[in-house]
Each structure stands twice: as C-alpha cells, then as structure tokens.
Chains A and B, each alone.
Chain A
Amino acid sequence: MRAVLSTRETLLRGFLVSGLGMVLAPAAALAHGADQESGGWSFSGVILIPLGLLLLLYTGGVARLWRQAGVGHGVAWWQAGCFAAGCGLLVAALLSPLHELGDRLFTAHMIEHEVLMVAAAPLFVLSRPLGAMLWAFPAVLRRYIAGAVRQPFARVAWRGLNEPISATILHGLAIWSWHMPVLFHAALACEPLHWLQHVSFLASALLFWWALLNGAARRRGYGASVFYLFFTSMHCALLGAILALSKNEIFVAANPSAAQWNLTALEDQQLGGLIMWVGATAFYLTAALILAALWIGSGSRAVKKIGSGARSFRN
C-alpha cells in the first residue's frame, strides 16, 4: 500500500518537473532569437561564483552522503535531478542571452523572472538542498553548524519566516514592490539594484515554496499550501492582467528593442503582462492541483489506517 502511494507521489512529482518544460520552452526560444540578434552569454562573477559554490557544496555533500549511506539514499536520484534542473534554469535565466535581452525587452524580462520564481525555486526546494549541503562539511564542522542553526533566535526566526502565511506575504511584497514603475526602472538603470531585484525574487520564492512544500504545511497535509498557492496565483494574475489590459505605457523605458521583434512598446508590455497572468497562474494552479491530490491521498491513507486498525481490534 505504502509503496503504491509513494510511486504515485513520485509520479506526481514527475508531472511537476515536466510542467517546468512548458515554462522553459518559450524561454529557450527567446534566448535563441536573441543570440541571432546581438547578445551572447553574460558571464558575470556575481552569478558564477555563488552558483559554482552552490554546485560544489551540493555535489560534494551528496557524494559524501551516498558514499556512507549508499547511492540514492538520503537524497534520492530524482532530488539530485531536481537540483541539476534548478541549476540549469538559473543558468538559462541569469547567464544565457535571455538575461541580456531582458534589459531591452519587457517580455523577456518577465520570462526571466517567472523562470526564477515558479520554475527554479520549487526545484531547489524539492532537491533537499540544506541536508545535502551540510554533508559537504567534515563531521566536526557539521556538528558546529547544526548547533548554530539550533540557537533559539535562529529557530524562532526560521519558524516565523517559514509559516506559509508570512512566506506568502513576503513573496507577494517582493513581486508587487519591484513592479512599481519607479523601482523597476531603477533596477534596469543600476546593475547592483538589478541583482538585488533578482536575489529578492529568488530568495522570497525559495522561502515561499519551502514553506508550502517542506515546512509545517507538509506535516499538516498541504491543505494550507493549496490555499496559499491559489491566493498567490490570484494576486499575480491581477498584476499580470493590469499590465496586459493597460492602455498606458507604464514600462515603456524598459523595452527599447521591442521594434526589432515587430512589437510596439505597449504590445511588448501587454505580452509581458500576459505571460505573468496566464503563464505564472497556470503553473501555480498546476502545483496547487498536485498538492491537493497529495492532500486527499494522505487523508484516505489515514482513513484506511484507522479502518485496518478497527478490523484488527475486532479480531
């Protein structure tokens, strides 16, 4: 029974991963187009160094863990795969020509943000990153780090941030405040602010997906996660719809190369809004459906357990 359920869970996770392909496909197509136009890969140390460090810690940790516990134990193959896919998406969003195009085309910039927030972030969360990276350190250091994390202050802060409601609000604030025209244009004009924008999107998205997939919500059975995903999809849809239906050019300065793509500045803004409205919302709703299925599944598993318990009691 348990084996059947766990395969179903794996299957559903498989759907989640394959769903990412839908988000990635247009990104890859646009990146390809940009390559022909002008841009190339932007190898910035600000991205490469943290990404390389992340990769080193994770692979080192998983290698040590698998040497001790056996291959596929502690961190499953599909989890390592999620991490690899997440890194691939970060490269696609931040290093590939898509990033450079994002400075000149609003639609490309929106795709970049969506890849970070709805595709890369949940993959990293599913890949069990913290436990794996902890294993990269020697045993003594590992114990020291674990002790530091267990400090009362760190625990309270982490628990507070990891509540689904606070993570949802923080993520929503990050999305809405960076789409204020003032901040959006400031980010495009100033490279450090642009990195800050992407870091706050990715960090708040990681927190959001962590709280919904891994935190207390998982123990409580994903019901709250379904609600918060629905809520997030609604406010993202509102923001996207406002941009898609707008008749004023709010982000006109963000798309000097729209004409190269046979778009007017306003059309580019509307297309970007549409990607946020339909693309992001579709992904949030897919994730909500998968979690609802897991939630219902866990409920019927509990009922069956009670049922079998009652039978054994009668005998």
Chain B
Amino acid sequence: MARSVIDVSGLPTYAFGSRVTPWWGTFSFCLLEGTGFALGIGGYLYLAVTNSHWAKDAVPLNLVWSAVFTIVLVASTIPNFLIKRAAMRENLRSVRVLLLAMSSVGLVLVVLRIMEFSVLPVRWSDNAYGSFVWLLLGLHGVHVLTDVADTLVLTVLMFTRHGTGKRFSDAEDNAFYWYFVVLSWLPLYALLYWLPRL
C-alpha cells in the first residue's frame, strides 16, 4: 500500500472570512445571540398583546439619546467596512488608525447607552414593560461592551510586535461581529422607541 505524504509548510497559517475557525465561532455566536434577541422581542410583543396593564404601563421612551446612539452606530459601519478591507489587505498603518477610530466610537456609544439608562422613565422593577425595556437595552448594551473591549485589546496588540499575520484575521473577525451589533440594534430601536408611539 502506497503512503501519501504531502509537504504543507507552504500553506498559510491563517486566512480570512469563513475559511478560519474563529469566523464560524463568531457566526454561531451571532446565531445564538440573535435567537436571544428574537426571544426577547417575542416576549415583549407577547406581553404587549396579552397583558391588560401594558397599554397603561408602556410610557414612550425619550428619543434624544437613542437617536444619537443610532446615528453614531449606523455611521460606524463605514469605518468598520474600511477596517475589514484594510485588514484583508494587511495594511498595518490603516488598521491601526481605523482601530483607534473604532475604539473611540465604541467608547462614545457606551457613554450614550449609560446616558440612555439614566433618563429611562421606568425602573426595571416597576412592571413587565419596565423589565423588558431594561432587559433588551441591557442585553444589547452588553454586546456593545463586548465588542468595544475586544476592539481595545486588538488596538493595543496592533501597536505591539504582535501586529502581524493572524491578528489581521482577528481584526476582520471583529469587524464582522460589529455588523451584528449594528444590525441587531435596528429592530430593537424600532420596537422600543417607535412601537409604543404608534
């Protein structure tokens, strides 16, 4: 029986997109968390149509901070797109600058979310409506926080001697996850801020 031997030392040690394992990890994470958001939205709507106190309890939320948050979040997809492209081209200078930009955008968003919580007209313990508002805002806030932490670590790494090879793949993966954070916010924003006003 012949044995097949192949020299794989010439193969790359990292790749981008669905060719690397972390991408599948992030993708599965998005599916899981997306299901979590969907269940939260489903729970909110279920209570809205079955809870007899809901119409009285559902005080419309303040629009100011959430509008700023949404605009900044949607605008952040542009540097996010650029960072993904720069990472795939392995352009260290651009990746560094863009990661700094994304880190500051992320921190601004965290501050905006804190401001949002400070002006909420309901407490989490007031009623079912209040609980769901806090749950959904908090759940999404944790996702923002997760990605900002991830971006900060990546930014630091990119300014050290680790800023090579596989780290570009990590930057691309981080950008992929940020798209999920942005996309998952849009239905939540419509639900939490506009549905009670209709």
| A residues apposed to B, CB below 8 Å | 180-182, 234-235, 238, 241-243, 245-248, 250
Contact = CB atoms under 8 A, between A and B. Distances in A.
A246 B42 CA distance: 12
B49 A245 contact: yes
B198 A182 contact: yes
A245 B42 CA distance: 12
A242 B46 contact: yes
A245 B45 CA distance: 11
Interface of B: 38, 41-42, 45-46, 49-50, 52, 195, 198
A183 B37 CA distance: 25
Contact of B50 (A234, A238, A245): A245
Query: Secondary structure at chain B's binding surface: helix, strand, loop or mixed?
Result: helix
Contacts of B42: 238, 241-242
Contacts of B50: 245-248
28 contacts: A180-B195, A180-B198, A181-B198, A182-B198, A234-B38, A235-B38, A238-B38, A238-B41, A238-B42, A238-B45, A241-B42, A241-B46, A242-B42, A242-B45, A242-B46, A242-B49, A243-B49, A245-B46, A245-B49, A245-B50, A246-B49, A246-B50, A247-B49, A247-B50, A247-B52, A248-B49, A248-B50, A250-B49
Contacts of B45: 238, 242
A246 to B, nearest CB: 4
Given A234-B38, A242-B45, A242-B49, 9 more contacts: A180-B195, A182-B198, A238-B45, A241-B42, A242-B46, A245-B46, A246-B49, A247-B50, A247-B52
B34 to A, nearest CB: 9
A238 B198 CA distance: 20
Contacts of B49: 242-243, 245-248, 250
Contacts of A235: 38
